[in-house]
Chains A and B, each alone.
Chain A
Amino acid sequence: MKIKGAEIIVECLKKEKVECMFGYPGGVVIPIFHALHNAPFKFILTRHEQGAVHAADGYARASGKVGVVIATSGPGATNCVTGIATAHLDSVPLVVFTGQVTRQQIGNDAFQEVDSTGITRPITKHNYLVQDIKDLAGIIKEAFYIASTGRPGPVLIDVPVDISKGEHKFAYPDTVHIRSYKPVYEGHPGQIKKACQLIETSKRPVIYAGGGVVISNASKELREFVMKTQIPVTTTLLGLGVYPETDRLALEMLGMHGTYYANHAVNESDLLIAVGARFDDRVTGKISDFIPNAKVIHIDIDPASVSKTVPVDVPIVGDCRRVLTQMIEQIKAPKIDEWLAEIDRLKREHPLTYERNGDDRIKPQFVVEEIYRQTKGDAIICTEVGQNQMWAAQFYKYTQPRTFISSGGLGTMGYGFPAAIGAQLARPDKRVIDIAGDGSIQMNIQELIVAVQHRLPVIIAILNNGFLGMVRQWQQLFFDRRYSHTCIDFAPDFVKLAEAYGAEGIRIKTYDEVAPALQKALAITDRPIILDFIVSREENVYPMVPAGQSFKEIIMREMLA
């Protein structure tokens, strides 16, 4: 029996056990939406295609499943671009369908035509232009496979409208065979042995764990490994939560706005064990001064990440979880009591701090700490990008993977709120809080109605300082305090805005109001809540290692006082 191309797409999604899909209709995808009307999974109509991709991304990061998106051709596809690039940089599995004009019209500047596969080629793991309906089901099978295996990433499928209208019989392949794509999961035993020997003789080792540990669900194995070896752990922004930050051996985040002790320990280490992390420039600062005395072990599934910027002594290409499991079997603990004593001292002497006084307004760090207290650390925190993101990373203590969701690589403002919608749909059992700035939240505020419509109790905590704060901070420190176009105190009334959408809005101006407002928000379970925290205007994020400099140039709050 023949069915329409659009119906083949829906049948494939059913085979892939898709439970939730995000998107926005348009001319050339009407046939697919016609077929989606009766689909047995949830469809979330966002109010902008960018919101759809970020929501699918948040859904994927919170659940570990593939996020699925559909958008129309032309502007629908280009609106997806930022979302796709965000997912690409952070290795998030997505399958994005875009409509395309008919095969006959392609290349003729038809209405709403863009070269979607051309535009997304460098920001997808792979992409397809469907040219024959008989390939459609196989392509979708491959797309889900490629998106979710190896180092995950977004895959785009561009579907000409005459393909979705055409007819063919449906057969979904059981297996995928791509001769040129064979991710390596098991670590090489010889390399693992070498790594274990290096570890056992090290004096000042540090584990540097990244988003790869989250993706490969290796948090449990990492904890076992640390239990056995007692090696301290720092995580990247995207690795937050893979090791409990409340533990003695946790150094928390490293890098530009990482803790003093994480950066110091890494800088002083004699062995850096990178697990699912890629030595991003926001982590290393000036490469030549990053780890002057350390050997490097690098566990990563992506061979292209190994020795890309920092030379690696023992590369282990493989899945973090499997490699750690292999290592746990044979590793012996190194003798590092002195090192651990030094780490304890560093943690004691250089904690993350902020000053509560000096200004009538609430300090933004206090808000983040209070969110941690009120949620007992059991929420999923999404962030926008900028100061809000860094304070959320620093002052909330993450203890579980997939509880911190943020655009790390691309640094996409406007990511956090739609991602929070996706995360809430994936995890209805959890409270989801988007820690936002007054700049970022205005970038995808249109999605508020989606949260209202689906009764999602996402909390948006705006740290409202009337500035594009991170850029302002750089202007203050490095550009003669010339606050060129970063003052945004000409702003909407966020409380009224919440009300206009049918959400709850609360403005918080004093310290005393912070906890009650959060309690009130947490008591609401059927609609989103905007908490408009009026915070200190020119608070900076510290510590700060200025871009491209070494740890020695670190700026601490105390130094400026």
Chain B
Amino acid sequence: MTAPHDEDIKQYVISVKVENRFGVLARVAGLFSARGYNIDSLAVSATEQEDVSVMTIVVRGNDRVIEQVKKQLNKLIDVIKVSDHSDMPTVERELVLVKVNAPPNKRPEIYQLGEIFRADIADISQKTITLGVKGDPDQVQNFIELLKPYGIKELMRTGRVSLLKE
């Protein structure tokens, strides 16, 4: 199995329900890394069941390899369920923290932008403002794009969590 070629690469969102045990993350991540795949984002979340966690993995690859990875994930003893959310109706949320340059004359604009995205002002310093936004990944991306002209000093995204719609 070779690393994917550019032409057939797609983004996949895979949700993996696992036993909440040590070592599971390494097993899951290992199946991607062994194929030379870089995970775009990974969120490990507690669930309604105390002994179960969910990993939401966003990864780029081609159909054939991702199909094989899903089968291999299913084979892991600690994996309870694998679902591919890539082409399913889902609700997704992600959180981003952005520290952006904010000289006094630009601050009103940034506040305004923040209000539109319902950002919370996490921190203010002499030269910067740090905003937090939660939303679906497109919204978060939008917000980041709009802040770019001001000069982003630091940025962190949590990676998305994804639930199938009823």
Residues of A within 8 A of B (CB): 117-118, 121-122, 125-126, 129, 131, 146, 178-181, 302-304, 307-308
Contact = CB atoms under 8 A, between A and B. Distances in A.
Contact of A178 (B30, B71, B77, B81): B77
B75 A121 contact: no
B74 A304 contact: yes
Interface of B: 19, 22-23, 26-27, 30, 34, 67-68, 71-72, 74-81
Given A122-B34, A129-B22, A179-B80, 9 more contacts: A121-B27, A126-B76, A178-B77, A180-B77, A302-B75, A303-B71, A303-B74, A304-B74, A304-B75
A146 B23 CA distance: 17
Nearest to A142: B77
A129 B23 contact: yes
A519 B37 CA distance: 56
Contacts of B23: 117, 121, 129
A155 to B, nearest CB: 9
A121 B29 CA distance: 11
B34 A180 contact: no
A126 B22 CA distance: 13
Contacts of B74: 303-304
Nearest to A153: B75
Contacts of A302: 75
Q: Which 9 A-B pairs have the closest CB atoms?
A: A304-B71, A180-B80, A126-B77, A181-B77, A304-B75, A304-B72, A303-B71, A180-B79, A122-B30
Contacts of A180: 19, 76-81
A125 B68 contact: no
Contacts of A131: 22
11 contacts: A121-B26, A121-B27, A122-B30, A126-B77, A179-B80, A180-B19, A181-B77, A302-B75, A303-B75, A304-B72, A307-B67
Contacts of A303: 71, 74-75
A79 B46 CA distance: 38
A304 B26 contact: no
Contacts of B67: 307
B80 A304 contact: no
A122 B76 CA distance: 10
A122 B34 CA distance: 9
Contacts of A125: 77
A118 B27 CA distance: 9
A169 to B, nearest CB: 24
Contact of A118 (B26, B34, B80): B26
A307 B76 CA distance: 19
B30 to A, nearest CB: 6
B160 to A, nearest CB: 24
Contacts of B77: 125-126, 146, 178, 180-181
Contacts of B81: 180
A146 B76 CA distance: 11
A117 to B, nearest CB: 7
Nearest to A180: B80
Nearest to B19: A180
B79 A121 contact: no
B107 to A, nearest CB: 47
Nearest to B17: A180
A146 B78 CA distance: 12
Interface centre among B22, B26, B71, B78 (most CB of A within 10 A): B71
Interface centre among A125, A131, A303, A304 (most CB of B within 10 A): A304
Contacts of A146: 77
Contacts of B76: 126, 180
Interface centre among B71, B77, B80, B81 (most CB of A within 10 A): B77
A121 B76 CA distance: 10
Nearest to B33: A122
A179 B77 CA distance: 9
A302 B71 CA distance: 9
A180 B74 CA distance: 9
A307 B68 CA distance: 9
A129 B23 CA distance: 9
Contacts of B79: 180
A137 to B, nearest CB: 18
A126 B30 CA distance: 13
Contact of A308 (B22, B26, B68): B68
Contacts of A129: 22-23
Contacts of A118: 26
A554 B137 CA distance: 53
